[in-house]
Each structure stands twice: as C-alpha cells, then as structure tokens.
Amino acid sequence: MIPHITNEIKEHAVKLATPDVDVVIVEIGGTVGDIESLPYLEAMRQLRVEAGRENFINIHVALVPYLSAAKEFKTKPTQYSVKELRGIGIQPDVIVARSDRPLPQEIKSKIALFCDVSTDEVIFNHDADSIYEVPLLMEREGLDTILLKKLGFEPAPAADMSEWRNMVARMKTPQRDVTIGIVGKYTALPDAYLSIVEALKHAGIHNDAEVKIQWIDCQILETDVDVSSVLNKVDGIIVPGGFGERGIEGKIKAARYARENSVPYLGICLGMQLAVIEFARNVCGLSGANSAEFDPNTQYPVIKLLNDQKGQELKGGTMRKGAYPCTIQKDTLVHKAYGEDVVKERHRHRYEFNNEYLESFKKHGMVISGTYADKGLVEAVELENHPWFVAVQFHPEFKSRPQRPHPLFRDFIESVIKNKS
C-alpha cells in the first residue's frame, strides 16, 4: 500500500470535518476484497486509529440472500465479508443486513454471534423500490439512535422526517407521466448519466409526474434513419455533456428536431455547444459551422478555445472546472427558473461559445440568458418563440436534490407537462 495515496484519502475526509460539522460520513463503494477499494479501506482503518476509536464507527452493508428452494436465509456471505474486513484490520460496529424479506430474530442473532456485534447492532434493510425510501427504513430500525449513542452524543429528540415522507409519498403516487429522451453515446451504460436521471426524478416529484427515460443512441441518428420516427415518441429531449467526436452529428440532429418541432429541450455542457452549432448552420446560414474541437479547419468555429487557453495542453490546462458565477439576463426562461440575478454552477469543459458570432445569433433569435461576466463567456442560451429551449454550459444536475429539484430541471419538466397537455 503506497502511503501517500492513503494519506491523500484521509486528508480529503478530514477536510470535511469543519467546526460546523458534527459527523462526517464516508461511503466506500464496491465489494469487500475488490482491489480497487483496498486503499480506501486501509485509509479508514488508519483514520480510526488517528481519530480515536470512540470517534469512529464502521458500518458494514452486507447481503443476506434467501434461497426459495431451501426456504432459508444464508448468512455465510455476511460472515465471509466480515472475515475479509477483519483480515485487513477492520471490525464492523454495525451491520446493515440487506434482504428482500424481513429477517427473523434468530437470523439477526446468528449474524451478531459470528460477526461479533450485539443483536441490536444488526440492522435490517429491506430492498426498496427507490433509494429515497432507505432513510425511512433506517429510521424505523433505530439506526440513528444507535449511532448517536456509539459516538457519545446526548440523546436527541426523534428526527422530524415528515417532509421526507411526503416527498416519498409524492414520488410513489404520480398524477401523470412524461417520457424524456436522453440522447447520448453511453446509453448502454445508463449510470454514465446517473446525476441527470436523478435530477429528472427530483423534478418529476416536484411536478407530481413519473419521468420515464428513453435512451437514444446518438449514433443511430447519424444513419439514414428517419429522425422523427425515433424522437416523436418522447415529450422532451436532453442532450447531456460529453467529449469526443463520436455521435456528434446525431446529437445535432436531436437539437434540430427539438427546435423545429417545439419539443422542450435541455442542453447540458456539450449539449449547449451542439445546440449552438445546429442554430448556426440551420438558422444563421453558417453552413459547415462547427466546434474547433471536432473540425479545427471549419470556416465558422462558433465554439472554440479562448486565446488564453491556447498552448496550455498539459495536465488539463485548458479545462475549466469548478464553480463559477453566472449573471442571468432578466425576462428569460433561465431567470424565471432561478429567480436570481447571479448564481454559481459547476463546470467541466474546455471549449467556449465564440463571441465573434454573438451578434449574428442574437439577430436570428437566440437569447443569451447567462454569462460569466469576468470574461464575457456565454453560459446559457435559449430560443425565442419556442415552448422551452434552454441550453447551459454548466452542469445543473450536480446541485439537484429530492426535496430541492434544480430550477432548470424543475421548469424543464413543467414545460414538458404543459406542452404535452
């Protein structure tokens, strides 16, 4: 194990322990024994020693399968995973036992006996339809009380989970449904767009709607297929972020279909750049317009590197990352969504809107609704005379929460519902 790697992991965890924070939660994914997780597990083992055992709890989530043929639960997977943890110096303090049916008391007692925890420290986690139900399940099992006691906190009043319960209830009883097409090149691996999917769920909950996802491989749209035969089945279109040339023309076709057929559209990062390219080609009359990323020799580089980015090729020198302020133009869809004049959003991209073409875009009906004022960078665009066509250079999905859907996703789904009715 390389010390500076585990030290770096520990440092990131410790940084979160600011004076206004009572408890830091560190989640380590994967399966015990996976080589990828070993540095993280070792870092946590060391951190427990350094922080003091009385200030640190290990919670182990384990599967307890039920064999229908034998009509019995099997605790061996849990026992084995705990044995593996002990082998690297970690003893679980609490075991969260996942199963698709309630665990009998004798099974909890068996797990407690062989894993060296008390029966009360074996928490049943019933398989749930949604991850948002899990906090309610954990509260019902008393996990919060156990953790407070183990960490030496004074007993606290029962948590008020009413707002969360209401949110889950709304999620499970939608009044309508909408279908959103996500046009990307990683559609065979939906987790690549997990933050966007969750943000859509949050927006759906707010609008009392079930959001159904239709995954659309952008490369299919690059063939001679009739684009409308693919996209006429969706109520709204999202073109998410990404890098590389593969599938670009298919995404541009999706943006054009949304614009010409009054289908609500949300472009994110690359999805904004491609909406700009489509508009340049088919509205502004700039035939062959492109991004310098995909065609360095294009006559109309409507998307390009900034002059001060050129020559900074090493170690992601051209990448714009992190939170930047965005000044929002009043009387726009974006301003209506946020209700604020300045917001901060996260970025991860290299290429920018080329301001040399700004006036041409405005003249033809594209609204520049958000800018990074310090450098005059275009951050958000939208279209006149369209139900809802918004594209942003940043990543709004990262700030969405179940009880606080991101304003752009919230209004996107609202517009989809209105446009569908």
Domain of residue 265, CATH code: 3.40.50.880
- Per annotation, catalytic residue among 42, 278, 293, 397: 397
**56 within a domain of the structure (yes/no):** yes
Question: Which of 125, 140, 163 is the endpoint of a domain?
Answer: 163
CB atoms within 10 A of CB 3: 9
- For the chain, the domain total comes to 2
Same domain for 146 and 181, yes or no, is no
User: Contact 389/367 with Cβ under 8 angstroms?
Assistant: no
**Angle at the Cα of 338 from the Cα atoms of 332 and 342, rounded to 5 degrees:** 90
**170 within a domain of the structure (yes/no):** no
Please tell me the distance from the alpha carbon of residue 261 to that of residue 249, in angstroms, as a whole number.
18
Please tell me the distance from the alpha carbon of residue 195 to that of residue 191, in angstroms, as a whole number.
8
Return the sign of the alpha-carbon dihedral for residues 391, 397, 402, 405: negative
Q: Which of 177, 257, 187 is nearest to 218 (CA)?
A: 187
**285 within a domain of the structure (yes/no):** yes
Same domain for 341 and 213, yes or no, is yes
| Tens-place pLDDT, residues 179-208 | 999 999 999 998 999 999 999 999 999 999
DSSP assignments along 91-117, one per residue: --SEEEEEESSPPPHHHHHHHHHHHTS
pTM, two decimal places = 0.90
Please tell me the distance from the alpha carbon of residue 100 to that of residue 230, in angstroms, as a whole number.
37
Same domain for 344 and 370, yes or no, is yes
Cα dist from 111 to 74, 77, 123, 193, whole Å: 10, 10, 10, 37
Predicted pLDDT of residue 336: 98
Q: The CATH number of the domain where 16 resides is what?
A: 3.40.50.300
**326 within a domain of the structure (yes/no):** yes
Predicted pLDDT of residue 398: 96
Please tell me the distance from the alpha carbon of residue 307 to that of residue 287, in angstroms, as a whole number.
24
Please tell me the distance from the alpha carbon of residue 331 to that of residue 412, in angstroms, as a whole number.
17
Please tell me the distance from the alpha carbon of residue 220 to that of residue 238, in angstroms, as a whole number.
16
Same domain for 133 and 226, yes or no, is no
**171 within a domain of the structure (yes/no):** no
Question: Which of 97, 131, 163 is the endpoint of a domain?
Answer: 163
**190 within a domain of the structure (yes/no):** yes
Same domain for 351 and 391, yes or no, is yes
Please tell me the distance from the alpha carbon of residue 384 to that of residue 364, in angstroms, as a whole number.
9
* 163 has catalytic annotation: no
CB atoms within 10 A of CB 38: 15
Predicted pLDDT of residue 308: 63
Predicted pLDDT of residue 318: 72
Look up residue 295 and give its two tokens: 């065609």
Phi and psi, residue 304, nearest 5° = -155, 170
| Tens-place pLDDT, residues 221-261 | 999 999 999 999 999 999 999 888 999 999 999 999 999 99
Please tell me the distance from the alpha carbon of residue 90 to that of residue 76, in angstroms, as a whole number.
18
**195 within a domain of the structure (yes/no):** yes
Same domain for 362 and 398, yes or no, is yes
Same domain for 153 and 193, yes or no, is no
Same domain for 331 and 266, yes or no, is yes
Question: Which of 114, 136, 163 is the endpoint of a domain?
Answer: 163
Same domain for 63 and 117, yes or no, is yes
- Per annotation, catalytic residue among 347, 349, 386, 395: 395
* 269 has catalytic annotation: yes
Same domain for 144 and 77, yes or no, is yes
CB atoms within 10 A of CB 227: 17
Same domain for 239 and 134, yes or no, is no
* 326 has catalytic annotation: no
Expressed as residue numbers, the domain containing 150 is 3-163
Q: What is the mean pLDDT of each run of 10 residues along the chain (421 residues)?
A: 89 94 93 90 96 95 95 96 95 96 96 96 94 95 94 90 96 97 94 96 98 97 94 97 92 98 98 98 97 95 80 63 95 98 94 96 97 94 97 97 97 97 85
Same domain for 301 and 416, yes or no, is yes
Q: How would you classify the pairing of strands 320-328 and 265-268?
A: unpaired
What is the number of alpha carbons within 13 Å of residue 421 lying toward its C-beta? 10
- Per annotation, catalytic residue among 115, 218, 269, 326: 269
**237 within a domain of the structure (yes/no):** yes
